[in-house]
A and B are shown apart, each in its own frame.
Chain A
């Protein structure tokens, strides 16, 4: 019995870790900016492409292979600093006083542009970069061989979750962000530069998306279409957790990953349906997600 359960758990957590990075970025941006960024998935795949390209370059240039680890992180930071402020200041900022329809459409337009941009820059063939995975080796858990890299991902996800909580609760910027989330008008009246807060929050969101993509590359190839696939999964997880809820995203990642893993083990026909079925069931019972609450109607 234990022989079955342990691998199941490890698989679920490894899956959850990867999903968590994208979903938490999406949900964080929503909580501060009140905008659902449909282009979030594209930033994930751009992160993946950049990280894979940098990794391949490091190996090709004959640099020490361990450099591919910091390269994952730096690639994500690079994507965040390049795209975060740029997108927020040119496009997203303009939609704050517009309806949801306009906000969704503007980011959808951005999604379309970014998808083709990736094809132009990175080509259409799959890219593989698995040096970090092969450097770390393997472990046996419950009689099954796992990659140590998968276990590292689980640890990293926990670190990111804690770091985010600590950042929001204790740092000055974090507290200001929390104030903006709680009440935008009042915090503005109190002298908080909400515009700056929006740039910061959006850039962190992009960073998390790109990091998710970068961290996924050592165990999977990158190819066109990845962004669109990732987007819906991130959506599903963010919705299950409750849009804007960081802990919600963490719990939802585990639930959705568990559902997917259970499906692959016991009902392989349902593996692709599992995340969305979970989403549907949760949303029927709790339409605003596990941790979320609906906004009040305006008069």
Chain B
């Protein structure tokens, strides 16, 4: 147990207790975790130096997947919904990724934006299928066949999301420390040298892209079942921008970073509503600039300082 692990464990315990102490914060934290998954997905690509301005489309794919499963296909179990929606988002991600991971720098950002805006406008326009800008309502899913009321389901979903945070966190941690994961950061530092080593940058990136889409999709499915409604604006470009912002705000060096950023933003948002609702975007914008200028490692950098971690060698940077 290092100090870092103790801090992580404390954070987890705080998350377990939070809704018991402040019941009204449960919904906010559920959404924060959902968006945190998407931000984590964006952070993976940032490690490879790739900025995606279109990841909201995978978030939306997961959300619409959940809505279609629950309303049209008769799949009502929450675990099945989350699993299948994530698979759907992954498949969409792999298909899109096959075309896009060939590109770098601003072209990668822009092509992602292009595809996501096509997705956004198609979803908004096909009123007959997607409900257009009205979206689709998502009924309360069942749990192992048991029908719950919304309040009970929300409780369950919160702790399910928290378990998923741990499980997915461990998985992503493993992935990043595997050869494939290292290849991801190597694309950023020196892509040509990577290929001289016999590693295909394309396939390394495709795996990374698929995983990041899966994470966004899982987040989307959780958000859909928690909010109870899915909408085209889930795929709008500003939403994608917010995922990138969340990832950078939290810090991309550690897995906890994007999640931390997401929780921070949602909680501050909740606190600010009513007082600074008019200036909310401005507050976020200024925070973002401050973090970029003065805290290049994001909020996670603060955690590292607390844990006494100083060795940043070989870690990904923006």
Q: Given that A105-B292, A109-B286 are contacting pairs, would A232 and B107 also be in contact in the complex, using a CB cutoff of 8 Å? A: no
How would residues 228 to 244 of chain B score, 1 for a CB under 8 Å from any chain A CB and 0 otherwise? Answer: 00000000011001001
Residues of A within 8 A of B125 (CB): 269-270, 272-273
Residues of A within 8 A of B120 (CB): 276
Instruction: Say yes or no: A112 contacts B318, CB within 8 Å.
Output: no
Instruction: Say yes or no: A112 contacts B282, CB within 8 Å.
Output: yes
A276 to B282, CA, bound (A): 29
A94 to B290, CA, bound (A): 13
Chain A residue at minimum C-beta to C-beta distance from B248 = A105
Instruction: Say yes or no: A297 contacts B104, CB within 8 Å.
Output: yes
Selecting from B178-186, B273-281, B301-309, the interface stretch reads: B273-281
Residues of A within 8 A of B148 (CB): none
How would residues 284 to 317 of chain B score, 1 for a CB under 8 Å from any chain A CB and 0 otherwise? Answer: 1110110011000000000000000000000000
Chain A residue at minimum C-beta to C-beta distance from B105 = A100
Chain B residue at minimum C-beta to C-beta distance from A116 = B282
Residues of A within 8 A of B318 (CB): 98-99, 101-102
Instruction: Say yes or no: A104 contacts B121, CB within 8 Å.
Output: no
Residues of B within 8 A of A113 (CB): 281-282, 285-286, 289
Instruction: Say yes or no: B285 contacts A112, CB within 8 Å.
Output: yes
Instruction: Say yes or no: A100 contacts B106, CB within 8 Å.
Output: yes
A165 at the interface (CB under 8 A from B): no
How would residues 215 to 236 of chain A score, 1 for a CB under 8 Å from any chain B CB and 0 otherwise? Answer: 0000000000000100110011
Instruction: Say yes or no: B115 contacts A116, CB within 8 Å.
Output: no
Selecting from B10-18, B46-54, B82-90, B136-144, the interface stretch reads: B46-54
How would residues 45 to 85 of chain B score, 1 for a CB under 8 Å from any chain A CB and 0 otherwise? Answer: 01001010100000000000000000000000000000000
A11 at the interface (CB under 8 A from B): no
CB distance from A288 to the nearest CB of B (A): 7
Chain A residue at minimum C-beta to C-beta distance from B240 = A108
Residues of B within 8 A of A101 (CB): 46, 49, 51, 244, 248, 318
CB distance from A146 to the nearest CB of B (A): 27
Instruction: Say yes or no: A297 contacts B191, CB within 8 Å.
Output: yes
Instruction: Say yes or no: B281 contacts A235, CB within 8 Å.
Output: no
Selecting from A54-62, A172-180, A191-199, A277-285, the interface stretch reads: A277-285
Q: Given that A100-B51, A232-B237, A284-B99 are contacting pairs, would A111 and B109 also be in contact in the complex, using a CB cutoff of 8 Å? A: no
Instruction: Say yes or no: B281 contacts A276, CB within 8 Å.
Output: no
B117 at the interface (CB under 8 A from A): yes
* Chain B interface main SS type: helix
Point out which of A110, A112, A299 has the most chain B C-beta atoms below 10 A from its C-beta. A112
Residues of A within 8 A of B293 (CB): 94
CB distance from A208 to the nearest CB of B (A): 19
Residues in A250-299 with C-beta less than 8 Å from chain B: 269-270, 272-273, 276-277, 279-280, 283-284, 287-288, 294-295, 297-299
CB distance from B49 to the nearest CB of A (A): 6
A84 to B244, CA, bound (A): 26
A106 at the interface (CB under 8 A from B): yes
Residues of B within 8 A of A80 (CB): none
CB distance from A43 to the nearest CB of B (A): 15
Residues of B within 8 A of A94 (CB): 293
B260 at the interface (CB under 8 A from A): no
Residues of B within 8 A of A110 (CB): 285, 289
CB distance from A230 to the nearest CB of B (A): 12
How would residues 254 to 290 of chain B score, 1 for a CB under 8 Å from any chain A CB and 0 otherwise? Answer: 0000000000000000000000001111101110110
B207 at the interface (CB under 8 A from A): no
* Chain A interface main SS type: helix
Select which of A105, A115, A235, A279 is within 8 A of B245 by beta carbon.
A105
Instruction: Say yes or no: B106 contacts A287, CB within 8 Å.
Output: no
Instruction: Say yes or no: B114 contacts A276, CB within 8 Å.
Output: yes
B122 at the interface (CB under 8 A from A): yes
A122 to B52, CA, bound (A): 32
CB distance from B243 to the nearest CB of A (A): 11
Instruction: Say yes or no: B281 contacts A273, CB within 8 Å.
Output: no
How would residues 117 to 154 of chain B score, 1 for a CB under 8 Å from any chain A CB and 0 otherwise? Answer: 11011101110000000000000000000000000000
Q: Given that A36-B110, A232-B117 are contacting pairs, would A104 and B286 also be in contact in the complex, using a CB cutoff of 8 Å? A: no
B7 at the interface (CB under 8 A from A): no
B111 at the interface (CB under 8 A from A): yes
CB distance from A224 to the nearest CB of B (A): 10
A34 to B49, CA, bound (A): 16
Instruction: Say yes or no: A273 contacts B282, CB within 8 Å.
Output: no
Select which of A105, A232, A272 is within 8 A of B113 by beta carbon.
A232
A63 at the interface (CB under 8 A from B): no
Chain A residue at minimum C-beta to C-beta distance from B287 = A109
How would residues 82 to 110 of chain A score, 1 for a CB under 8 Å from any chain B CB and 0 otherwise? Answer: 00000000010010001111101110111
Chain B residue at minimum C-beta to C-beta distance from A272 = B121
Residues of B within 8 A of A239 (CB): 110, 114
Residues of B within 8 A of A109 (CB): 245, 284-286, 288-289, 292
Select which of B102, B105, B107, B281 is within 8 A of A116 by beta carbon.
B281
Point out which of A101, A232, A270 has the most chain B C-beta atoms below 10 A from its C-beta. A101
Chain B residue at minimum C-beta to C-beta distance from A119 = B278
Residues of A within 8 A of B51 (CB): 100-101, 104-105
A-B contact pairs, 11 of them (CB 8 A): A100-B51, A100-B106, A100-B109, A104-B51, A112-B285, A270-B125, A277-B118, A279-B114, A283-B111, A287-B103, A288-B107
The 10 closest A-B pairs by CB, nearest first: A112-B285, A116-B282, A113-B285, A109-B288, A101-B51, A273-B121, A112-B281, A109-B285, A276-B118, A109-B289
